[in-house]
Structure 1
Amino acid sequence: MFDPYTYGKPLFYYCVQQLAIKDRECVWDYLIFLMSALPSGVAVRLLQENKEQLSKLRMESLETLCEAMIEASEFPAAMSLYLAAFMKERAQNDLSREEQLMAISDRYIKIARGLLEKIESDHLLAIMFEIPSSIHDMSLFDIALRFELYSFLDFHRLPPLMLQMWYKYEYLDPKENFIQVEKSNFKLLRTLFYTPNRFYFTPVGQYITKAWLYLLYVLYVSWITYQQIYPYQGIRTQEYVLWILNLGFVSFELVELIFDGRDYFSELVNCWDSLICLIWVVLALMRFSISALSFSRTKHSESGSEYSLQQRNTSRTSIFMLLWGAQCVLLWTRLASFLQRNPSTGSLLTMIVKMASDIL
């Protein structure tokens, strides 16, 4: 009896090698049968490992192979969406067949949307989008966002689902219908006043709370900056409060880095935050070391004002003030990440980023 778990991988490599020598229809038929018998995760991994060889063969046979993988998969919508991303990636590397590959990618996206349209219940559809598939444990959302399949995200049944997830804590409660329009600010304030627990544990509540806390943090940093405190001066109480807040900021990003690993740097905002943390660490070392050195010298010197005048023109002070100014710019521009999620400003910022990337 044929065991795909034991003999599937070597047989797949053998078939690909034979197809590279001569493109035979019988070998394609066996390869299609083999991919249908293999588990979806194994089939996807083999397809990725041999994508260069398979992309050079007959496109019609490769398309038939992918369709067989969709039909045999336990998660056909996720498989079709992943294969759409596969064809899109191949189109970017094979310019001679770019249009053909992109057409196949669009067709697989339509297949995924067609499968999801058959689900009448919005709650069941939400579960289908969230449940991990056998393809690297990725859900439909993960595949669409990771491979930037924006045409799939235009699915007409997605907006109510996203609104439900955004405004509701228990968004899969079958007793409640899905939200069709966005809530006004008055309704959000009413929810905050009457049921604060349901507000703070929703994504929109966490987003608003985080945005306001960050804004207050940036305003406090700006107020300390307005004080014009030089690194050689003594540390005041309000500045100690600032460094405690900075310690919390750096600690939060460090914990997030530990949990996310390399995926932490996959987002531009996290790279921005890591740069802010790095500058804060450098500024803290300079601030406390220069302040301690200045205190010991002024204690044994005759004129503290003369020493302060000398220290103001040193390169250490100039570097400190330069880094502090750059930090203020980074902190204020970081607010754009919160505005990006706002319906009014998000589309505008996304358009600006795309225009800048096209220019560069």
Structure 2
Amino acid sequence: MAHRAEMRSPTAEPDRRWLGLVQTAAVACALLLMWLIGVLPRAATAPFKYQDWMGHLLFYPLFTVPYWISLWWLRRKKPGSLAWAVGTGLGGFVFLMPFVPLVANHYEEPAWRLITISSGLLLLAQVIFLAGAAITYFKMPQECRAKRPLLVGGAAAGVCVFIAALSMTPPSDIHKRQHSSEASAVGTLRELSRALELYEAKCAGYPSALSALAPPGTGRPPDCARMGSIEEAITPSASNPEWRKERAGELTRLLLGRESPGERFGYRFSYKPSEPVVSEQPGAPFYLHYKINADPLQRGKTGFRSFCVSDGGTIRLNWEAPAGPTDPAWD
């Protein structure tokens, strides 16, 4: 019996060359994944809040757990441990195949290049890890592969760890700010459009500049040079007078360019009237049509989409360029 055990023990040993390859690939996967995750915040935009960095430090390393588990099992050089290595490699591969390209394609130039390169290296290391572990496992004698169910358990564990880490990761404030900026841009366009329609009803045309919508100075009556229609255009359903006053002040600063001219919440607003109308009223010339564009200062960072509104009040959007009259309407 002892003689038979001695005869079988050398054959039960995994191929050391393949084992070394698997261990190296496992370390590469873990390090590349941690590096990729560290790149994402810097590639997206700055500055990040303290909580964002804490979230990355606390939760993202969980993605590397399957690789460290595999390394620990591989050091034991047993059939069951190799089955776990194949299983966790398979689980990580199944998850990373759709996830990593999706992340890489989300970012704009030049960030996507760095992320795409690191993502490609990660997937290559993942393929080497999975292939090496599988070859090492199936090269072992038949009697040493009785723990094949561990492959299923390892794969399930790998997928579960990845999904758990992803679900525990706090949502990025970047996307919240981007969507908030888009909503603010659309709201501003609606208010400007209402103010322009109020102006047109009193002056028989649209102004040459948005500053004509601002309130007149103290003691000066409204006229077509300074109508003050922006105050009337603020959400009529808003019952809080303090909020309406604050909002009117924000829009007045935007109209008069007292801060960054025409810039607000990561968007640049531009007004273009067309088809002048002859008139001798204060504030002339007036126009038959207008168009206001709202474009992100940095597409993909301060906002994703461009918007525009024209006489008629329909807001339209475009994902890649300034919006125009042929673009789809905002729902």
- The alignment's TM-score, normalised by the length of structure 1, stands at 0.26
More strand by share: 2
More helix by share: 1
Larger CA Rg, structure 1 vs 2: 2
- The alignment's TM-score, normalised by the length of structure 2, stands at 0.28
